[in-house]
A and B are shown apart, each in its own frame.
Chain A
Amino acid sequence: MHTEQLAGRTQQRFFSPEEEENFLSPGAFDVDYNKRTELDCAKLSVQAINLKLRDLMAKGYGTIVLKNPGAKHGIAVGILNRLQLYIEGSLGYFGCGLIDGPNIRIKGRVGWSCAENMMSGTLVVAKNAGSTFGAALRGGDLVCMGDVGARMGIDMKGGTIIVGGRCGAFCGFMMQRGRMVILGDAGKNLGDSMYDGTIYVGGKIAGLGVDAVPGEMTDLDAQWLERKLKMYGLAAPKGVKNLTKIVAGKQLWNYDNLEPAEKKIVL
Chain B
Amino acid sequence: MCGIAGLIHRKGTGDIGREMTAMLQSLKHRGPDSTGYALYGEPKGEELVLRFKVAEQEDMAKGFDIHRQVTERKQKVDGRIVELGGKILEEDLATEYAYRYRIAFSGDLRKLANYIEDVEGAEILSIGHGLELIKDLGDAKRVSEQYALPGFNGTHAIGHTRMATESDVDIRSAHPYWAYPFADVSVVHNGQLTNYWKGRREMERRGHRFMSNCDSELIAVYLADRMQQGAALEDAMKDSIDRLDGVFTYLVATADKLGMAKDVMAAKPMVLYESDKFIALASEEVAIRSIFPHEIDTVDPYEGEVRVWSSNA
Contact = CB atoms under 8 A, between A and B. Distances in A.
Interface of A: 70-73, 89-90, 92-93, 107-109, 111-112, 127-131, 147, 149-151, 168-170, 187-188
B265, B266, B293 pick with most chain A CB within 10 angstroms: B266
Interface string B200-243: 00000000000000000000000000000000000000000000
Interface string B258-288: 0000001111010100000000000011101
Contacts of A129: 300
A23 B298 CA distance: 36
A168 B269 CA distance: 13
Given A70-B286, A92-B285, A131 B298 contact: no
B302 interface: yes
A168 B302 contact: yes
A149 B300 contact: yes
Given A130-B269, A131-B266, A188-B303, A108 B284 contact: no
Contacts of A131: 266, 269, 300
| A-B pairs, 5 with minimum CB distance | A71-B285, A150-B266, A149-B300, A169-B303, A130-B300
Nearest to A147: B299
Contact-size category for B: 10 to 19
A40 B156 CA distance: 33
22 contacts: A71-B285, A71-B286, A90-B295, A90-B298, A92-B285, A93-B284, A107-B295, A109-B299, A111-B269, A111-B271, A128-B298, A128-B300, A129-B300, A130-B271, A131-B300, A149-B302, A150-B265, A150-B266, A168-B266, A168-B302, A168-B303, A169-B265
Nearest to B296: A90
Contacts, number: 69
Contacts of B267: 150
B297 interface: yes
B297 A169 contact: no
B297 A109 contact: yes
B297 A73 contact: no
A231 B264 CA distance: 35
A150 B284 contact: no
Nearest to A167: B302
Contacts of A147: 299-300
A211 to B, nearest CB: 18
Given A150-B302, A168-B302, A169-B302, A72 B286 contact: yes
A169 B266 contact: yes
Contact of A111 (B285, B297, B302): B285
Contacts of B285: 71, 90, 92, 109, 111
B18 interface: no
Contact of A112 (B269, B288, B298): B269
Contacts of B303: 150, 168-169, 187-188
Contacts of A71: 284-286, 288-289
A109 to B, nearest CB: 6
Nearest to B303: A169
Contact of A109 (B264, B265, B284, B298): B298
B299 A89 contact: no
A92 B286 contact: yes
A107 B267 CA distance: 26
A147 B302 CA distance: 10
Contacts of B289: 70-71, 90
Nearest to B288: A71
Nearest to A130: B300
B286 to A, nearest CB: 5
Contacts of B265: 150, 169-170
A187 B41 CA distance: 39
A188 B303 CA distance: 9
A128 B299 contact: yes
A73, A107, A112, A130 pick with most chain B CB within 10 angstroms: A130
Contacts of B269: 93, 111-112, 130-131
Contacts of A112: 269
Contacts of A89: 295
B286 A73 contact: yes
Given A112-B269, A128-B299, A170-B265, 15 more contacts: A70-B286, A70-B289, A70-B293, A71-B284, A71-B286, A72-B286, A109-B285, A109-B297, A128-B298, A130-B269, A150-B267, A151-B266, A168-B266, A169-B302, A187-B302
A92 B302 contact: no
A93 B285 CA distance: 9
Contacts of A109: 285, 297-299
Contact of A127 (B288, B297, B302): B297
A169 B266 CA distance: 8
A92 B265 CA distance: 21
Nearest to A93: B284
A168 B299 CA distance: 12
B167 to A, nearest CB: 26
A151 B295 CA distance: 26
A149 B268 CA distance: 11
A17 to B, nearest CB: 30
A11 B250 CA distance: 44
Contacts of A72: 286
A111 B286 CA distance: 10
